[in-house]
Structure 1
Amino acid sequence: MTSVLISGAGVAGPTLAYWLARSGFRPTVVERSAGPRSSGNPVDVRGPALPVATKMGLLPELRKHATHATGMRVVGTRIRVPLGDGEEIELTRTDLAAVLYRAAEHDAEFLFDDTITALHDDAGGVEVSFERTAPRRFDYVIGADGLHSTVRRLAFGPEERFVHHAGLYVATVALGGTPAEPHDVMLYNLPRRLVALHPARGEAGAAFIFRGPALPSSEYRDLDRQKHIVTTVYRDAGWRVPALLEQVRQTTDLYFDAVSAVRLPRWSTQRVALVGDAASCVSLLGDGSSLAMAGAYTLARALAEGHGFAAYEAEHRKLTTPKQQRIALGAGLLVPKTRLGIALRNTAGRFIL
């Protein structure tokens, strides 16, 4: 039986494990976290992910976890844009990852609280060293471990060669309590800055998205440094921002990262491949989770049918390339650089938001 090691138990990893197991492969998933990994940020299951979820029988479970958001409002305007088209499902990434994990857990081996430390790829397989588990050999290794992929670094080279700053940073924090607007996402813009309040599933969360130059990740790895950056960037903002910044100061669970695009000339070596954000991150556009599910299904099918990594990459790039080409447009709409840009965006908001 062909063995496949998958690094990452977020969205792509469990989806891939589920489909590989059904094609007679023996999948193992290694995950650095102590349990199913993810964040509470809202994501969408839509487009190419919907047929995958349908085939997995997961649509009822996903809908059960759907957020309460039905519209998006721009603060200071009369703009309210309905969300969703009746088919797509918005839920937190935590809930999506948990549903996918439960679908795969009985058909795959999961190694939590561990990570890959070395890969040695040869014609017959891949020798893998782990931080905790004894070294093992697999027929294939798949990196489904996100923007800061360990597999990509070990098999393809340093992160800075492939991760490209999109000119933005994002920080998110859970606020707790019942949201003031239980069904609307609220957008508040200043030049080069956005604050979004999301009702999630009855417990509000805030996102701070702002423009800034590329910085070494070492400069924003520390929680106190992250808090300082956010509070400094928004120190003169009005609306509800001062109270939100106090939440940032108090939290012990702030998500903070650069908004980035991942671009590689190839997604595979001889027996190692990448899927999801590790291969083609399109952060900011809201399609990352859907593309991760679709890519995992395409990869599993290519391996099951004996077509290999090249066939998977050729097919899935048709979906990811157009999305990456629109990152700048998405940034411009969400976070205009000037007050004039905000006004123009708002004027056309009913059509483009």
Structure 2
Amino acid sequence: MDVLISGAGIAGPALAHWLARFGFSPTVVERAPSLRPGGQAVDFRGEAHLSVLRRMGVLDAVFAARVSLPDMVFRDPSGRERCRLPTSYLGGDVEILRGDLSKILYDASADDTEYVFGDWITALHDDGAGVDVTFEHGPDRRFDFVIGADGMRSGVRRLVFPEYRPKFQGYYFAIWDDEGDDRDLTCAPGVLTAPGWLMFKSSVPPELMPYEVIAPDVYFDSISQVRMPTVSSGRVTLIGDAGYGSTLGGMGTGISVVSSYVLAGEMAAGGDAFARYEALIGPYARGCQGSPGRMLAPATRLGMWARDRLFGMLPKAPMFARIDMLRASAIKLPEYVLVA
């Protein structure tokens, strides 16, 4: 069966890898002209994340490309340290730059996947037996299934669920290239900034934000969450941030690789695969979602004082501090029969 995946970030290549191993023929279409290098560090934490990487055969490559990150230090405008988050709390079992991870997953899937860069989906027609797909540049094609793995601003989600928008959490976030220490942070009420890094509170909803004035080398987005009653419709479904995203703090990278394994395995099992995929991944992904804006950049001085006290307590309460590890591991991975 032919499966079209929209998005060549993390979830897309991971899903392509598993689909090929289960006997499908995956095609990945990516709007960018090539893989996107660089990016912030992402992490994997807990046995569920590591188990999928191990089964994929990429765990050693991920560890070989790991990076070490310093503590996150919060300072007032004069430079005085207010509090810090130890890297032992912030990180998972392994940290890796997003671009390096994307390349590892691409390499793991490229031999068995058709990749089309510089194009995107503009229309979908699901007739129950297959999906006719219109592209911006390439010719129309027909696929058995279409999977949206195209992030928080998913084009597939807009086409299939036009009534749904991610829920704005009241903050914006920007990243740009800078050689400074992006973990040495200056904070004021509702603002957190560092070289190459900015978070700020705003009442301006995303649909009114003038994104077109943002410099092309700056990643800028709202801090939002994707929460939907269902992520599937007919022969189309969503994976990763497209279906269960949080801009920050939602363990989206780990959820993407776990979801890719489960979705491909359920599709190989046949029947009502998308319903089974949602039943297993939906509660798990929603349990991992976080909204870090209010915690990292409180809007009031009292809120900043409470944040400082809480962060100071975390090293003394390791079980509370690593509740994220429990959430990341809160899934029992099924065993699927591989055909390839």
Shared fold (TM-score greater than 0.5)? yes
Task: Tell me the residue number matched to 1:265.
Answer: 229
SS of residue matched to 1:110: strand
Q: Is the 8 A contact 2:26 2:113 kept in 1?
A: yes
- 1:154 corresponds to: 159
2:210 — aligned with what? 220
The correspondence of residues 270-309 of structure 1 with structure 2, limited to 5 A, is 270-307=234-271, 308-309=273-274
**In the alignment, is residue 99 of structure 1 matched against residue 63 of structure 2?**
no
Match in the other structure for 2:308? 346
2: CA distance between counterparts of 1:44 and 1:332? 22
Deviations 1:71-114 (A, max 9, x none): 22222237444324786222221111111111111111101111
Given that 2:206 and 2:222 are in contact with CA atoms closer than 8 Å, whether structure 1 keeps it comes out as no
Show the counterpart of 2:39: 40
**2:69 match:** 69
The alignment partner of 2:281 has SS state of helix
- 1:7 paired residue number: 6
Residue aligning to 1:185:
183
Contact 2:4/2:27 (<8 A) preserved: yes
**Distance in 1 between residues matched to 2:110 and 2:96, nearest whole Å:** 21
Between stretches 78-87 and 341-350, larger displacement belongs to 78-87
Alignment match, 1:319: 284
- Is the contact between residue 3 and residue 139 of structure 1 (CA under 8 Å) also seen in structure 2? yes
Does 2:87 align with 1:83? yes
Give 1:43 shift: 1.5
CA distance in 1, matches of 2:88, 2:110: 30
Q: Distance in 2 between matches of 1:348 and 1:216?
A: 30
Q: Which residue of 1 is the match for residue 200 of structure 2?
A: 210
Contact 2:131 2:235 in 1 (8 A): yes
C-alpha separation between the residues in 2 aligned to 1:332 and 1:276? 23
Q: Distance in 1 between matches of 2:88 and 2:269?
A: 35
C-alpha contact 1:43 1:286 (8 A) present in aligned 2 = no
Closer/same/farther in 2, CA of residues 337 and 163 from structure 1, 3 Å limit: same
- CA deviations 1:213-261 (Å, max 9, x no partner) are 13344632223xx47xxxxxxxxxxxxxxxxxxxxxxxx5111111111
Equivalent position amino acid for 1:164 in 2: K
Partner Cα distance (2:19, 2:238) in 1: 15
Three-state SS of the structure 2 residue aligned to 1:119 is strand
Aligned counterpart for 2:176 among listed residues 173, 177, 182: 173
- Taking the aligned partners of 1:341 and 1:301, their CA distance within structure 2 comes to 45
How far, CA to CA, are the matches of 1:337 and 1:112 in structure 2? 41
Structure 1 residue 295: deviation in Å?
1.2
Query: 1:44·1:286 contact (CA, 8 Å) conserved in 2?
Result: no
Give 2:313's aligned amino acid: F
- CA 1:302 to 1:11, structure 2 compared with 1: closer, same or farther past 3 Å? same
Please name the residue that 2:29 is paired with: 30
TM-score, normalised via structure 2 length:
0.84
Within 5 Å, give how 1:209-248 maps onto structure 2. 209-217=199-207, 219-223=209-213, 226=214
Counterpart contact for 1:282–1:323, Cα < 8 Å: no
- CA shift at 1:63, angstroms? 2.1
Contact 2:222–2:247 (Cα < 8 Å) also in 1:
no
- Kept after mapping to 2: 8 A contact 1:10/1:38: no
For structure 2, which runs of at least 5 residues remain unmatched after alignment? Answer: 315-320, 322-340
Over aligned residues, Cα RMSD in angstroms? 2.1
Q: How many residue pairs end up in the alignment?
A: 308
| Secondary structure of the corresponding residue to residue 195 of structure 1 | strand
- Give the direction of change, closer, same or farther, for the CA distance of 1:82–1:8 in structure 2 (3 Å limit): same
Q: Counterpart of 1:189 in structure 2: which amino acid?
A: C
Greater Cα offset, 6-15 or 306-315: 306-315
Alpha-carbon distance in 1 for matches of 2:97, 2:264: 25
Aligned mates of 2:206, 2:197 — CA distance in 1: 22
1:209 maps to amino acid: M
CA distance in 1, matches of 2:115, 2:205: 35
2:117 aligned residue (112, 119, 123): 112
* Secondary structure of 1:97 counterpart: helix
Aligned to 2:275: 310
Residues 26-69 of structure 1, C-alpha deviations (whole Å, 9 max, x = no match): 00000111111465122212233221111112122212322231
Provide the residue aligned with 1:244 in structure 2.
none
Task: Provide closer, same or farther for how the CA distance between residues 294 and 259 of structure 1 changes in structure 2, counting only shifts above 3 A.
Answer: same
Counterparts of 1:280 and 1:81, CA distance in 2 = 26
How far is 1:154 from its partner? 1.2
Are the counterparts in 1 of residues 223 and 293 from structure 2 also a CA contact under 8 Å?
no
SS at match of 2:112: coil
* Matching residue of 1:231: none
Task: Return the letter of the residue paired with 2:15.
Answer: L
